[in-house]
Amino acid sequence: RSNLLFSTNLKVSLLDNFDDLIYPPVNTYPAQVRSDIKKYLNNLGENISIGRAQFEYFKTIKTNNHLLLTAGIFEEMFSGYGFEYLKFNPKSRINWGFEASKVYKRGYKFDFDLLDYTNTTYFFNVFYKFRKGIAFDAKLSFGEYLAGDKGMTIELSRSFRNGISMGIFATKTDVSADQFGEGSFDKGIFFNIPFNLPFVSNERKISNFTWRPLTKDPASKLIKRNNLYSLVNKYSVIAVD
């Protein structure tokens, strides 16, 4: 159905040197949610791995009020269920929303097993469109991250007519610079590049790439397939002057 989607991806490694990843992380404060990525990569290639298998249900409650319900395997490291609400007025520069997810740490073999770590992550999001001078979008998120730390993430991005967007982000939580370790706080860059899949559909797909200099546990968010603001903003036909 147009508002009920099931999406999945399967992974297999044909050639890699992940077995060389043998050194454990130095710092796993406040909880180990991302720094054990080596244990996942060590098992990639043993069998066909499930990267994602989730249901998404979209609903416009009333004009400018949107809801997204999600359940299943969110990503390589987490399963769970959650929702996102967005108040979006295409004529307004500022919009806002709220999201929350109950997450369960996946087993290291990319199957349906779960580890004993669970948490509820939530964020209040504010979006603003700057249209004076160089046009760009800003997003502020306040809430609790996967490891249980609380803080704020700021994203600045710019979109182009060909559909490509790029931006930067930085996060500061209640984890001190000393506790965070090298890098002091989380930061990085991201690119979203549209492309067409021949013989599949006329719909353009989006390839998402995020780079951060270090993989740390604090300031970690779910790696989502979709978020409401990007989807609604993409199909909005009313531009903000």
Looking at residues 150-173, what average pLDDT do you find? 91
Per DSSP (E only), the strands in 133-234 are 136-144, 150-159, 165-173, 186-195, 205-211
The amino acid that residue 32 corresponds to is Q
The count of other CB atoms within 10 Å of the CB of residue 75 is 17
- Residue 117 to residue 30: CA distance in whole angstroms: 12
209 alpha-carbon distance from chain centroid: 11
β-strands 94-106, 78-87: how paired? antiparallel
Taking the C-alpha atoms of residue 171 and residue 107, their distance in angstroms, rounded to an integer, is: 27
Residue 7: the pLDDT is: 92
Q: Is the model's pLDDT at 50 over the cut of 90?
A: yes
pLDDT tens string 67-115: 999 999 999 999 999 999 999 998 899 999 999 999 999 999 999 999 9
Confidence of residue 55 (pLDDT cuts 50, 70, 90): very high
Instruction: Write the DSSP symbol of residue 203.
Output: S
Is the per-residue pLDDT at 23 higher than 90? Answer: no
Q: How far apart are CA 127 and CA 138, in angstroms?
A: 6
The per-residue pLDDT for 238 is 45
pLDDT class for 1, splitting at 50, 70, 90?
A: confident
**pLDDT tens figures, 169-213:** 999 999 999 999 888 999 999 988 877 665 555 556 667 788 998
pLDDT at 166 over 60: yes
Could you say which DSSP state residue 18 is in? G
